[in-house]
Amino acid sequence: SAVISQKPSRDICQRGTSLTIQCQVDSQVTMMFWYRQQPGQSLTLIATANQGSEATYESGFVIDKFPISRPNLTFSTLTVSNMSPEDSSIYLCSATDGLAKNIQYFGAGTRLSVL
Amino acid sequence: AQSVAQPEDQVNVAEGNPLTVKCTYSVSGNPYLFWYVQYPNRGLQFLLKYITGDNLVKGSYGFEAEFNKSQTSFHLKKPSALVSDSALYFCAVRGPGGGNKLTFGTGTQLKVEL
């Protein structure tokens, strides 16, 4: 299975600032995803990070707010822009590897608090 | 649209007793079904999946799940619960034509007591 590392693991940010979250996979993976888990709630898919092209965003999420990069097959970043307290959530990166491509493996998440 | 329902916010069981965490789904076509577990301050860990084949699927840590097409259910089970099984459990589904987009249930908090 793919091992996924995220950093930072947590952060406290001021309203109006931006935070970039990094996701590193220990092997080349076909697909990478970013999810949001709001306090006490389930996971919601933000976008699929496509290697070499623009990310595919789900309804309710836009590139200006959540720009995503994926420069290669093992790395992706998610930026949370112009943050407000409503952005306080856990942000999770996941990936699907080639051997078990039906299974998504998850990082430990980034716990973000916006003041 | 695909959806998942986990009707119980919390399940309490005594250690050594069998446990069941319920999940029902709605999807067009044959479902791909998954169970994940989340421990405090940790990411999601994959437990098991059903794609096709036997309706009873065995996974990690002694967990199993039974796929029931007529009832559109995929309940998670374990014959003998451990205190260390206490965690948040998520059921997830995707349709065969839905790419890799997973839809998660709201989660069920399992508490196993001595």
Which tokens is A3 given? 């091992």
Average pLDDT of the segment spanning B82-98 = 88
Whole-angstrom Cα distance, residue B85 to residue B36?
A: 12
Contact assignment for A103 to B34 by CB distance below 8 Å = yes
| pLDDT for residue B99 | 65
* Closest chain A CA to residue B96: A102
How do B19-21 and B24-26 pair as beta strands? unpaired
Q: What is the pLDDT of chain B when averaged over all its residues?
A: 92
Question: How many CB contacts within 8 angstroms connect chain A with chain B?
Answer: 49
Contact assignment for B49 to A107 by CB distance below 8 Å = no
Q: Do residues B26 and B72 make contact, with C-beta atoms less than 8 angstroms apart?
A: yes
User: Is residue A34 less than 8 Å (CB to CB) from chain B?
Assistant: no
Give the pLDDT band (50/70/90) at residue A110. Answer: very high
Instruction: Please name the member of B100, B105, B107 whose beta carbon is closest to the beta carbon of A104.
Output: B100
Instruction: Please name the member of A1, A45, A107 whose beta carbon is closest to the beta carbon of B101.
Output: A45
Instruction: Please name the member of B102, B105, B106 whose beta carbon is closest to the beta carbon of A104.
Output: B102
Q: How far A111 CA lies from chain B's nearest CA (Å)?
A: 9
CA distances from A106 to A109, B14, B42 (A): 8, 30, 10
CA distances from A94 to A30, B12, B59 (A): 11, 30, 20
Q: Is the pLDDT of residue B98 over 60?
A: no
Cβ neighbours of residue B49 closer than 8 Å, sequence gap 6 or more: A102, A103, B32, B33, B34, B35, B57, B59
| pLDDT for residue B10 | 97
Q: Is the pLDDT of residue A55 over 70?
A: yes
Q: Is the pLDDT of residue A100 over 80?
A: no
Contact assignment for B43 to A108 by CB distance below 8 Å = yes
Average pLDDT of the segment spanning A103-115 = 93
CA distances from A3 to A12, A27, A96, B90 (A): 26, 8, 11, 20
Average pLDDT of the segment spanning B36-60 = 91
Contact assignment for A103 to B46 by CB distance below 8 Å = yes
Contact assignment for B101 to A109 by CB distance below 8 Å = no
Average pLDDT of the segment spanning A64-69 = 96
| pLDDT for residue B84 | 95
Give the pLDDT band (50/70/90) at residue A101. Answer: low
Per-residue pLDDT tens for B66-85?
999 999 999 999 999 999 99
Average pLDDT of the segment spanning B12-27 = 97
Per-residue pLDDT tens for A26-48?
988 888 999 999 988 889 999 99
User: Is residue A92 less than 8 Å (CB to CB) from chain B?
Assistant: yes
At B61, give phi and psi (nearest 5°). Answer: 60, 25
Average pLDDT of the segment spanning A63-88 = 96
Q: Which residues of A touch B43 (CB under 8 A)?
A: 4, 6, 92, 106-109
| pLDDT for residue A41 | 85
